[in-house]
Amino acid sequence: MRARRIPLSTECAVCITKTIGKVVPMLTDTWERQSELYSKAFRALSDGYANDLDVPSTIIPLMMELYSAAGANDPFNIIKQKSINAAMKDLPLIEQSINRFSDFEKFRTSLSAAIAGNIIDYAHAGDDPDLESLECVFKSVQREGFAIDNSKELWHRLKSSSGKVVILGDNAGETVFDIPFVRLIKELEWSVIFVVKGLPSMNDATKNDVIGTGIEQLAMISTTGARAYGTPKRFVSEQFLDLVADCDLIISKGQGNLETFPEIQEEFEKETYYVLRVKCSHVASILGCKKNNNVVLRQKNM
């Protein structure tokens, strides 16, 4: 299984259209202004297909144009704070479940929590997570297991050596459920750098979102330096690329990073583990699994 460029499909058009329909009303409540923003968005989507672009190369400029035109900075802020609060409320129960285990099983259960957090996502069409049932989501991920499962390889890698690991964070709320996973890695004597977005594209975690959750006590917090879906090379900062160049291992959270980080991974030849819930059948078919499968995918020195 290999992460690679994700071309636009017919399914992408439906998904992106629904996402536009979700975002535009958050930017303005007047129909005249909404109409202007819809026009800009659908032109950008049409250009993506006309120029045979991949998903990130289409959605990132599209979202940037919408936010710039509307003068918006973080329209998902209220939703993000609700997500963080809900995850913080359930975190003690999640940690209690994790601490029933030891060694690899404890590590694997912390991975289940990290993937359960990846379901706290408002960016994909149809996503409207039930914040009252996050513990149930965690238990369901435990039962389902990982359709692509390189968790044992990751465990052995972390146990057998030490160094700097960069964790590519994803959404606000989700990062709270990453805390037990980050703590275990730190206990294995790795230096952890947890990377969030420079600015939010949708419900992406930023520094402001993670400070105060406790993760900043376990890891150095850095950013991609970009307002972008995932970690696309042409948008991220030189500082972020320097972090990647200087680290020994990458752990990438979420589908957006799966779709964008492989270009950087290939350039710097970094062993990377992609940890996510697969959100669409298009990406699932490329990975060789099914939509809504849980994945821990190892990619070594592409």
Q: Which of 49, 70, 91 is the last residue of a domain?
A: 70
Q: Which of 51, 70, 89 is the last residue of a domain?
A: 70
Is the domain of 20 the same as that of 167?
A: no
> Is 224 within a domain?
yes
Q: How many domains does the chain have?
A: 2
Single-letter amino acid, residue 162? S
Is the domain of 59 the same as that of 109?
A: no
Is the domain of 58 the same as that of 91?
A: no
Alpha carbon distance 139, 256 (integer Å): 24
Is the domain of 140 the same as that of 171?
A: yes
Alpha carbon distance 13, 15 (integer Å): 6
Alpha carbon distance 281, 229 (integer Å): 19
**pTM, entire model:** 0.94
Strand duo 294-299 + 272-277: pairing: antiparallel
> Is 2 within a domain?
no
Alpha carbon distance 138, 169 (integer Å): 18
Is the domain of 64 the same as that of 191?
A: no
Give pLDDT, residue 2: 53
Is the domain of 105 the same as that of 216?
A: yes
Of the candidates 53, 69, 75, 55, which has an alpha carbon nearest to the alpha carbon of residue 3?
Answer: 55
Written as tens digits, the pLDDT of the chain (302 aa) is 455 567 899 989 998 999 999 999 999 999 999 999 999 999 999 999 999 998 889 999 999 999 999 999 899 999 999 999 999 999 999 999 999 999 999 999 999 999 999 888 766 544 566 677 788 999 999 999 999 999 999 999 999 999 999 999 999 999 999 999 999 999 999 999 999 999 998 899 999 999 999 999 999 999 999 998 899 999 999 999 999 999 999 999 999 999 999 999 999 999 999 999 999 999 999 999 999 999 999 998 64
Is the domain of 66 the same as that of 83?
A: no
Is the domain of 57 the same as that of 104?
A: no
Token pair for residue 132? 């009252």
Is the domain of 94 the same as that of 53?
A: no
> Is 98 within a domain?
yes
> Is 238 within a domain?
yes
Of the candidates 123, 82, 76, which has an alpha carbon nearest to the alpha carbon of residue 257?
Answer: 123
Is the domain of 24 the same as that of 50?
A: yes
CATH no. for residue 223?
3.40.50.10880
Give pLDDT, residue 124: 55
Give pLDDT, residue 302: 47
> Is 243 within a domain?
yes
Is the domain of 227 the same as that of 257?
A: yes
> Is 5 within a domain?
no
Domain boundaries, position 155: 77-299
- pLDDT digit string (tens) for 262-290? 999 999 999 999 999 999 999 999 999 99
H helices then E strands: how many in the chain? Answer: 14, 7
- 33: buried, middle or exposed (CB in 10 Å: 19+, 13-18, 0-12)? middle
> Is 4 within a domain?
no
> Is 27 within a domain?
yes
Give pLDDT, residue 129: 65
Rounded (5°) CA angle 101-107-113: 95
Is the domain of 57 the same as that of 124?
A: no
Q: Which of 21, 43, 70 is the last residue of a domain?
A: 70
Handedness of CA 45, 49, 55, 58 (dihedral sign): negative
Alpha carbon distance 13, 18 (integer Å): 9
Alpha carbon distance 84, 81 (integer Å): 5
